[in-house]
A and B are shown apart, each in its own frame.
Chain A
Amino acid sequence: MKMKRYFLLLCCLGIAVTANASWLDQLQELADPESKERQILSGTTQVLSSSKEIDYATERTIGEALALESMQRFGRPVDNESLQRYVNLVGAVVAQSSLRSTIPYRFTVLDSPVQNAFAAPGGVIFISKALLGILADEAELAAVLAHEIGHVAGKHALKSTRRAQFLQGVGTITAATSGSKGKEYQALIGDLQSTLFDQGLDKNMEFEADLAAMETSYRAGYNPLAMIRVLERLQKLEATSIKKGSWFSTHPPLQQRIARLKKEGYRYPDAASLAELPERFQEKRK
């Protein structure tokens, strides 16, 4: 009788635990010390407490320093004022529909052969001429820019480095960028560069930005499925493209990103009726 009781107890506990398998999966992933989630989590608990208090002026100043480094690494802005203004207008339209719409964004096309787009903290966003070159319409450009806006809104770059903590004890951003603190500030910018250009952000941050891209471009009035088209086109080009510093090397596998987004397509039953604007896009890109 006693044995029977324990057996029953075990069975029931089993039911209780397996009832939430996804929770279990997450737990297992966290328990694995090699997992990126675990590494991020141990870092973020500390980093988050400091990054959430970083005010906007500081965030923007960090973004400007990173912008200087980005141009030296990837190339100068393309010398085409009409194109740069157009990209800023598309960016502004999606930024206004984003979850972080009140900060001033800037969008710039860089003269780079690497297919890439990235966001510096505070809203200074870049897209390479090579990535712009493979897009088919304005909805696809909106999707790429909305993905980057998603990183800015989530403050993903700053959440990825522990070095941001030193800002806590400094007092002013002016003090943080000069004198003896200047070296620490430069190390922070260096850290952010290797995160954005070499290692890439955490894969969950990328998936979050992909979902934000669909949601934001949809709110702005663009066909949100354009994001999937961009990723599918990149996938076709993957074998023949430059990998170093591109969306291929710093982002999760395209297959995974496409699969995740396709699962979300049902949210947008009216997608096909929304704007894509291929003519306006191709006219401006000339």
Chain B
Amino acid sequence: MRNVIVIVSICLLLSGCAATAGEQSPSTSSPASTASTAASRWVVSAGTTLKAAAVATSADIAPLAVGARVLVLENAGRWLKVQTAAGKSGWVFAGRLALTPPVAEAAASEGLLTDAARQSQIEVAQADSARSIRGLSAETENYARERGTPQEYRQALDRILARQVSQSEITAFKRAGKLGEYAQ
């Protein structure tokens, strides 16, 4: 009889574990269910700053890097009062934060390129900020030549890549549309 009790309790324990595992796995992938308990958020938008008050026009306290983790101190709807790892606290528009960390770009050392081209993302971003119509990269041009891609498509791609919008244009566009932190 004692054996039966032992078996029953082991099995109950097992079923309990399985059930808990089953409940936990979806909640880690669903932001909403962790929202009530998780106090941590990650900065996802470039150009995010810690603000003195819960208004887009209030003074900047400190810049927050993409990927930085912050602790939520107070929730005022679409604005959150947070504390940074350095201990500074202030307000951030909730849309600039996510419940999961942003995508990590491949570290330079893991990359495929040689040393000269290692800092690929930084270089691409820098090249992009000064991009004008200037012809495609050597690699893309090479591909187009081997494939016999007509000139008009190469030029069309060049125009696409040159069509950049600046941060000030984006901000003006959000303001005009009363979007995100500019909502009234």
Contacts and interface: CB of A to CB of B under 8 A. Distances in A.
A and B associate in one complex: yes
A160 interface: no
Contact of A102 (B7, B94, B125): B125
A101 B46 contact: yes
Given A68-B143, A97-B44, A108-B160, A57 B98 contact: no
Contacts of A89: 165, 169-170, 173
A194 to B, nearest CB: 16
Contacts, number: 241
Contacts of A52: 106
Interface residues on A, range: 35 or more
A61 B8 contact: no
Interface in A88-134: 88-89, 92-93, 96-104, 106, 108, 124
Contacts of B170: 89, 92-93, 96
Given A76-B152, A92-B170, A106 B161 contact: yes
Nearest to A89: B173
A92 B169 CA distance: 10
Given A5-B7, A12-B11, A186-B146, A64 B137 contact: yes
B133 interface: no
B65 to A, nearest CB: 10
A136 B37 CA distance: 37
A17 interface: yes
Contacts of B140: 61, 64-65, 68, 177
A201 to B, nearest CB: 17
A92 B165 contact: yes
B4 interface: yes
A61 B139 contact: yes
Contacts of A168: 112
A17 B176 CA distance: 56
Given A93-B174, A99-B100, A220-B180, A174 B138 contact: yes
A221 B174 contact: yes
B7 A93 contact: no
Nearest to A104: B128
A244 B170 CA distance: 35
Interface string B98-128: 1010110110101111100110110111001
Interface of A: 4-5, 8-9, 12-13, 15-17, 19-23, 52-58, 60-61, 64-65, 67-68, 71-72, 76-77, 84-85, 88-89, 92-93, 96-104, 106, 108, 124, 138, 153-155, 167-168, 170-174, 176-178, 182, 185-186, 189, 215, 218-222, 264, 266-267, 270, 274-275, 277, 280
19 contacts: A8-B8, A17-B18, A19-B22, A22-B22, A64-B157, A64-B161, A68-B154, A77-B159, A92-B170, A97-B96, A102-B46, A102-B66, A102-B125, A172-B112, A172-B113, A182-B146, A186-B146, A264-B32, A275-B183
